[in-house]
Structure 1
Amino acid sequence: MRILIAEDDPAIAAAITDALRQGGHAVDHVANGAQADIALRDGAHDLLVLDLGLPGLDGSEVLHRLRQRGSGVPVLVITAREGLNERVRVLDLGADDYLVKPFALAEFEARVRALLRRSASKGSTEVRIGRLRLDLPGHRAWIDDSPLELTAREFGLIEALASRPDRITNRAQLVEALCNWDQDLTDNGLDIAIHRLRRKLHGSGANVRTVRGLGYLLEETADE
């Protein structure tokens, strides 16, 4: 999943960015409201972690503009502003959850997982392809009942493909899903990740098929 963090406190931003990246997510960070508003316009993110006290453009206005555009991206508000009236106001603006600073990192991660699971599942908690089972928000995979060990990059790759069922995903879309703004992924690096993922999927009834000139497709295959 790709997550945007809009937070102007460097220490908080660094801590939650590191935690989310260690969890296998692609994470982008902005430090003011205007940058957040611009970043959200391309619809590339699966979750927004939003501080209300942003410079330039208040987080409440960022949230208001996001919902005015009709975006349904989940929003987790993190703020030092307390009180029932403030929580009600922010939830009425369109936030999905609310966390008051200071907070425990474990609780933050649990709330992120819950929001991503709610957004991704749309009534189904798993993706199944052949004998392969995927829990996308939980970053877990199995072949039948045996856990499938995947690196963060490999899971990001299969997640990007599984999120577009029956549709071809091109190389640029895969690179965008796998990388943060401050990272690069070479063509060779992408090819290596695809090769390793295919090897781990061998015998699962699922495979990454190359559609020449167009991209890649995660599809069910006959058991080998």
Structure 2
Amino acid sequence: MRILIADDNAALAEGLAYVLQKSGHVVEAVTDGQATLDALERGRFELLVLDYGMPRLDGAQVLGRVRARADYLPVLLASARDDAPRRLAEQGLVVDAVLCKPFSINAFESTIEELERGICRSAPRHAVHFGPLVCDPADGSATLDGVRLELAEDERRLLERLASHHGEAVAADELAQIAGGPVEPVIARLAERLHATALRIVTVRGIGWCLATA
């Protein structure tokens, strides 16, 4: 999963990020509320680990803006304030799980695993559109101008993720996780399959790749 950790304790945020990265997740850590919103604006995340007391914007302000978005982002509230869940509930703000600080690494990992299982079960299976390309995760198809592309499963997964980012670069490590191994050979095969089409895969130096229209 792509996970964003928002906590004003930089050492704690980095420690939690390290734990998650060891489990294969792609993680970014920020230390204030505005940086949280900026990160969510820049990239796509599948889970937000959110502290309540943060500078610039607190957890309630961040969550209010997150919940105003069209897409639903699962949120794990990790706070030392016992009243934080009640305060959020009074504002009509819903979180998906709560951990009270201090918590053990085992409790943190177990909560993340439970949320990941729930996210996978409830993830929307809507088709992803990018120009003439339609990737439908419900039936595992990818069509270009209505013609089905014959792709290997790792190629299809990468194409779907690239399409879902609407022309934004996707990090190499994220794509490697999706490919289940070295990503460069899969990207090369996919680029070759798209060579004569209206789509192309562009290398973004220092980041990864993006899907673009020719």
* TM-score bin, normalised by smaller chain: 0.5 to 0.7
- Match for 1:164 among 153, 160, 163? 160
Q: One-letter code of the match for 1:212?
A: L
Question: By how many angstroms is 1:47 displaced?
Answer: 0.6
Q: 1:74 to 1:163 in 2, by over 3 A?
A: farther
Say if 1:51 and 1:77, in contact at 8 Å, map to a contact too: yes
Question: Where in structure 2 are there 5+ consecutive unaligned residues?
Answer: 125-137, 141-153, 202-214
- Match for 1:173 among 161, 170, 179? 170
Say if 2:26 and 2:174, in contact at 8 Å, map to a contact too: yes
Provide the residue aligned with 1:20 in structure 2.
Answer: 20
Say if 1:160 and 1:174, in contact at 8 Å, map to a contact too: no
Would you identify which runs of 4 or more consecutive aligned residues in structure 1 move more than 4 Å?
167-171, 195-198
Say if 1:26 and 1:178, in contact at 8 Å, map to a contact too: no
Q: 1:160 to 1:74 in 2, by over 3 A?
A: farther
Give 1:126-145 correspondences, 5 Å limit.
Answer: none
Provide the residue aligned with 1:112 in structure 2.
Answer: 112
CA distance in 1, matches of 2:50, 2:87: 15
Q: 1:160 to 1:6 in 2, by over 3 A?
A: farther
Q: One-letter code of the match for 2:18?
A: D
Q: 1:128 to 1:71 in 2, by over 3 A?
A: closer
Question: By how many angstroms is 1:123 displaced?
Answer: 7.7
Q: 1:108 to 1:197 in 2, by over 3 A?
A: farther
Highest RCO, 1 vs 2 (Cα 8 Å, sep ≥ 6): 1
Say if 2:155 and 2:190, in contact at 8 Å, map to a contact too: no
Provide the residue aligned with 1:103 in structure 2.
Answer: 103
CA distance in 2, matches of 1:14, 1:111: 18
The alignment partner of 1:3 has SS state of: strand
Provide the residue aligned with 1:148 in structure 2.
Answer: none
The alignment partner of 1:49 has SS state of: strand
Please give the root-mean-square deviation of Cα atoms over the aligned residues, in Å: 3.8
Q: How many residues align?
A: 164
Give 1:14-53 correspondences, 5 Å limit.
Answer: 14-42=14-42, 44-53=44-53
Provide the residue aligned with 1:90 in structure 2.
Answer: 88
- State the TM-score, normalized to the length of structure 1: 0.60
Provide the residue aligned with 1:212 in structure 2.
Answer: 194
Q: One-letter code of the match for 2:194?
A: R
